[in-house]
Amino acid sequence: MNAKVLIVGCGDIGRRVGQLLLAAGHEVTGLVRSEESSAPLAGVGIRPLVADLNDPEELQNLPVAGALVFYFAPPPGGGITDPKVRNFCAAATGAKAPKRLVYISTSGVYGDCGGALVTEETPANPQTSRAKRRYDAEQALRQWGEAQGVEVVILRVTGIYGPGRIPVFRLQDGHPLLCLEESPPTNRIHADDLAQVCVAAAEKGAAGEIFNVSDGHPSTMTEYFLAIAEQVGLPRPPLISMAEAKEVMTPLMLSYLTESRRMDNSRMLNRLGVRLRYPTLAEGLKASLEQE
Ligand SMILES: NC(=O)c1ccc[n+]([C@@H]2O[C@H](COP(=O)([O-])OP(=O)(O)OC[C@H]3O[C@@H](n4cnc5c(N)ncnc54)[C@H](OP(=O)(O)O)[C@@H]3O)[C@@H](O)[C@H]2O)c1
């Protein structure tokens, strides 16, 4: 792999992927929306490109022809489609089409699975608007890939944690947590492990292939927050029932607590040959807090 690389939506994960690729000798361009977000890219050697994916006019001269693209920009905050992905696809056709694209989607596209083990063969069943937007982006990219001869690889990523992304503030604010008995299984991946999975998917994933991305150790959201409280020395927040949670938690938080899945990551490990640096939350959390 010695391709020209464009990372569309070059934020936290994009910078991590970019740094891995720079170290391997690639030229890396990172697209962001704001001038403010371009400074941290230049600081690590990624060439910044500022353009708004919402504006097709700004996407006319993207350096994508024959490139390796990582598409990490999130869908918009509302609706059930992803116009940004569609604008990108429209700007990268014919002679401008890239060779390959790796897309970060979410495990949310599987919907509620009642705590069952979820493989890549599990049918997508997006239920929330957020998940529908993601699934729309997946579908748009797959159709575009088939029409334009672009090898599209989709990563269905679970909750990302890592340095700078540990929600200590929620504990400091004293928000209650759902009691352990009613808290459903959730799945996570450390940001550095996600970055190495993205690179491995670019090297080894096949056109049209989907990979679940998680550390393979599901635990509940409540266990996650209690582990953080213990590591940073904060008091345990009050634990409440689901009936009480419905009264006091935000709809967003409740939507996370009413979907449950156990993600199977064996395709990621076996096909991509990934060796996780942080296979358990305990290891990843300790390392993340030390680096903050
Ligand atoms: N949080 C989780 O647990 C989780 C789980 C699964 C998947 N994901 C997804 O993983 C992906 C990568 O996450 P991340 O943490 O690296 O995200 P991030 O740090 O927020 O980076 C997102 C990037 O997208 C850019 N962007 C957003 N809208 C844009 C637009 N209209 N035009 C151009 N650029 C735009 C942002 O640029 P500006 O900074 O200039 O706005 C930023 O560089 C995201 O799609 C995220 O939703 C997250």
CA of 101 to the centre of ligand 1 (A): 16
Q: Using a pLDDT cut of 90, give the percent of the chain over it.
A: 96
- Assign 173 a pLDDT band (cuts: 50, 70, 90): confident
Q: Mean pLDDT, the chain, as a whole number?
A: 96
Q: Whose CA is nearest to atom 8 of ligand 1?
A: 106
- Which superfamily does CATH assign the domain made up of 5-166+189-216+261-278 to? NAD(P)-binding Rossmann-like Domain (3.40.50.720)
Mean pLDDT, residues 192-197 taken together: 98
> Do 129 and 80 touch, CB atoms closer than 8 A?
yes
| pLDDT beyond 90 at 270 | yes
Segment 138-150 mean pLDDT: 98
DSSP per residue, 158-175: -EEE-TT---HHHHHTT-
Rounded Cα distance between 275 and 277, Å, is 6
pLDDT at residue 186 greater than cutoff 80: yes
33 Cβ inside 6 Å of ligand 1 = yes
| pLDDT at 106 exceeding the cut of 90 | yes
Domains of the chain by residue range: 5-166+189-216+261-278
State residue 290's pLDDT score. Answer: 93
Which tens digits make up the pLDDT trace of 30-72? 999 999 999 999 999 999 999 999 999 999 999 999 999 999 9
Mean pLDDT, residues 187-210 taken together: 98
pTM of structure = 0.97
How far is it, in rounded angstroms, from Cα 54 to Cα 59? 9
d(CA 63, CA 267): 32
Report the pLDDT value the prediction gives residue 3, as an integer from 0 to 100: 78
C-alpha distance from residue 271 to each of 26, 123, 203, 275 (Å):
23, 20, 11, 11
Q: Give the Å distance between the CA of 206 and the centre of ligand 1.
A: 24
Q: In 92-172, where does DSSP find H-type helix?
A: 129-148, 168-172
Residue 72 Cβ contacting ligand 1 at under 6 Å: yes
Q: Which atom of ligand 1 is nearest to the CA of 105?
A: 7
The predicted pLDDT at position 160 comes to 98
Q: Is 37 in the pocket of ligand 1 (CB under 6 A)?
A: yes
pLDDT for position 257: 92
Report residue 174's pLDDT band, with 50, 70 and 90 as the boundaries. Answer: confident
pLDDT confidence tier of residue 1, bands split at 50, 70 and 90 = low
- Determine the pLDDT at residue 65: 97
**Average pLDDT, stretch 71-94?**
98
